[in-house]
Amino acid sequence: MGNLVEAALVPAHRSQSTDMIPPESKSPTEQLDTRQKAESIWSGQRPVDQNYPYIPPDYDLPFLHIGMEKQLFLDNFILDHLDGVRREVCAPTKADEPLLAWSNLPWEQVQFNPGIAGVVHDPDDGKFKMWYWQGLMNDPFNTGQVLCYAESTDALHWEKPLRADCLPFQEHTATNIVHPDVSQSGLALNHDRSNSERNYLLVNWPPEAARKRPPGSTRLSRVDASPDGLHWHTISEETNFPHHHEQKIIWDESIQRWVGYSQYSHHQNFLYRKRQIGRQESSDFINWSPKEVVLSADWDANLPPHLEMHDMSVRKIGGLYIGITGEFVAEPFWQERNGHNWRDQAFCQLGLYTSRDGKRWQRAGPPNAWVDTGSPGAQDYGFACFTPAGALVHSGQMVIPYSANPQKQNWLHRASPTPIYPQAEFESQRQAWNKRQAIQGERLPKRAVGGLILREDGWARLVPTYESGQVYSKQFVFEGESLRINADCRYGFIQVELLDPQFQPYEGFSAQLCDPVNGRPDQIWHTVRWQGSSDVRALWNKPVRIRFHLHEASLYAFQFNVRPPA
């Protein structure tokens, strides 16, 4: 620790010294380390230290440590002050055409209702890959749902490859069906590559296997594995605690656990039918913790009481968890089930949430939907939901698939059940529905997988309120040899300075010496240079605060990283 403290006093001109002390490394398990420290203090196993109750991680230099993690502005974690600058949560655009749509494939003729099990950017072959389940109506596998496979080179244009090594359908030997009994599943690329037979992992509810269970059995959850995403074998017949309704799973390096998010309470109890988001952990993908509620519309008075949380997918960027929720907005038609009233006619929109521990979530931006449903007749007029974990990045943009259903969830096409209240309004809707069906016939659009498009890491941006403004970060220590920023400066420019604890620029890193950052409209990341040099190693092991000067330009993120080659 003495050497690190001495390093903080070394002048900046020592940056080229061969005996430079390397930066203190950021712990990849900082979140787990801090949680264990807190638990040991609360239990009395460790004495209360002078930093209680904040319980910071144990670094030699007691400052916020960001290492080389990417820093976004969707929350206030890294931000200290905005001067003449506002934050805007960015809304995605919708792809002009579905990523996956109904086609003339024989196994799509009866029912094509794609639910996304998972998407990955395969590190081995560089392809974008998607797995989705769809209905088969019991033919020929005698199951309700099968898992299918699609792939892409740019994350926007997808193909359903027909392969002879996939499962046959009737007389068709080349298909894209890869699993015969899958529904409401969650698929993930295994971070542990030591066992090639388990490169891909899948937790799912198998409809046909579940139907064969004795009455009163708990909900079945099965775990499968695959070396290539095409050929699957079961590694666990049943998990300890069941999953259901769109499990979305990520590997969280900071706590060394698989974390799954799925709907909590759906179809379990008609009295307490409020849909919420639950969370589970596992160290091996097989043995899971009990599901705990981590997000509910009941906790946020800014949301309407008839909004429910249908599902949530999560991606982690740096230390920030970003959740996209399918928000189930119920209509006022109550139905009676087993002596209880509940509502199940609804449309679904998407909401955006953030967290720093994966458990405590807050809404990003205003209470209105992050992504709303389309207008009548649009592909996603009824449902926009079921996003997969993660995001697919290609050529400076993110693509987030989602299930797009042109019809709302309703009972209008059924003779029963009939709502008990309000009866007259429901019957009026049913008559209008029947009349429209008679007019439209089979020309109504079918379900599909749509695409949401955002700038790479463009979840939120900082933009001057009027022409120019300044952004102050919190004080931190870092690793990396250079600083890059994700910025839109096609018209204006950005200058950056690195400040000491007295808010004075470190020698050589003032705004006046910073080469103005600007660039082409399609340029996402820019390396910051001061008098032509991007080397920031002189500030290793020193408390640093960044001040960004924005001049008719927008800022999305920053990151310290290894210097680009000369």
Q: What is the pLDDT of residue 532?
A: 96
Whether 39 maps to a domain, the answer reads no
Based on the fold, state whether residues 396 and 520 are members of the same structural domain: no
**How far, in Å, CA of 399 to CA of 153, rounded?**
12
CATH of the domain at 473: 2.60.120.260
**How far, in Å, CA of 303 to CA of 368, rounded?**
8
**H helices within 379-533, ranges in order?**
423-440
Whether 346 maps to a domain, the answer reads yes
Retrieve residue 459's tokens. Answer: 């979840």
**How far, in Å, CA of 139 to CA of 92, rounded?**
38
Based on the fold, state whether residues 481 and 449 are members of the same structural domain: no
By the 10 Å C-beta count (0-12 exposed, 13-18 middle, 19+ buried), 383 is classed as buried
Whether 46 maps to a domain, the answer reads no
Retrieve residue 287's tokens. Answer: 């043995």
Retrieve residue 431's tokens. Answer: 């008559």
The domain of 476 spans 2-24+59-90+459-561
Q: What is the pLDDT of residue 86?
A: 98
Q: What is the pLDDT of residue 508?
A: 98
3-state secondary structure of 434: helix
Q: What is the pLDDT of residue 266?
A: 60
CATH of the domain at 182: 2.115.10.20
Single residue among 411, 430, 455 that ends a domain in this structure: 455
Based on the fold, state whether residues 506 and 362 are members of the same structural domain: no
Single residue among 455, 472, 501 that ends a domain in this structure: 455
Query: Shortest CA distance to 344 belongs to which of 292, 410, 434?
Result: 410
Based on the fold, state whether residues 86 and 167 are members of the same structural domain: no
Q: Give backbone dihedrals phi and psi of 287, rounded to 5 degrees, phi first.
A: -95, 115
Based on the fold, state whether residues 441 and 492 are members of the same structural domain: no
Q: For residue 418, give Cα distances in angstroms to 31, 125, 337.
A: 50, 52, 11
What dihedral angle (degrees, nearest 10) is formed by the CA atoms of 492, 498, 504, 510?
A: -50
Whether 261 maps to a domain, the answer reads yes
Based on the fold, state whether residues 350 and 278 are members of the same structural domain: yes
Single residue among 437, 455, 473 that ends a domain in this structure: 455
- The position carrying tokens 């000491």 is 500
Whether 33 maps to a domain, the answer reads no
Whether 364 maps to a domain, the answer reads yes
Residues 6+ apart with CB under 8 A from 398: 391, 392, 453, 454, 455, 456, 457, 458
Query: Shortest CA distance to 316 belongs to which of 382, 252, 234, 394?
Result: 252
Query: Shortest CA distance to 369 belongs to which of 380, 379, 359?
Result: 380
Based on the fold, state whether residues 284 and 318 are members of the same structural domain: yes
Based on the fold, state whether residues 218 and 313 are members of the same structural domain: yes
Q: pLDDT means per 10 residues in the chain (566 residues)? A: 41 47 93 92 90 84 93 98 98 96 90 92 95 78 83 97 95 95 91 95 86 74 94 89 81 96 74 84 93 93 92 96 96 81 89 97 93 93 94 95 92 71 86 84 80 98 98 97 97 97 98 96 95 96 97 98 70
Based on the fold, state whether residues 376 and 517 are members of the same structural domain: no
Q: What is the pLDDT of residue 240?
A: 72
Based on the fold, state whether residues 310 and 355 are members of the same structural domain: yes
What is the domain count for the chain?
Answer: 2
Based on the fold, state whether residues 20 and 135 are members of the same structural domain: no
Q: What is the pLDDT of residue 416?
A: 59
User: Which residue(s) pair with 340 in the sheet?
Assistant: 337
End-to-end CA distance of the chain: give it in Å, rounded. Answer: 34
Whether 29 maps to a domain, the answer reads no
pTM here is 0.93
Q: What is the pLDDT of residue 14?
A: 36
**DSSP track, 152-205:** ESSSSSEE---BTTS--BTTB--BSEEESS--S-EEEE-S--S-GGGSEEEEE-
Whether 53 maps to a domain, the answer reads no
Based on the fold, state whether residues 405 and 502 are members of the same structural domain: no
Exposure of 560 in the CB half-sphere (CA atoms within 13 A)? 20
Q: What is the 3-state secondary structure (H, E, C) of 273-303?
A: CCCEEEEEEECCCCCECCCEEEECHHHCCCC
Query: Shortest CA distance to 248 belongs to which of 108, 358, 158?
Result: 358
- The position carrying tokens 């020309």 is 443
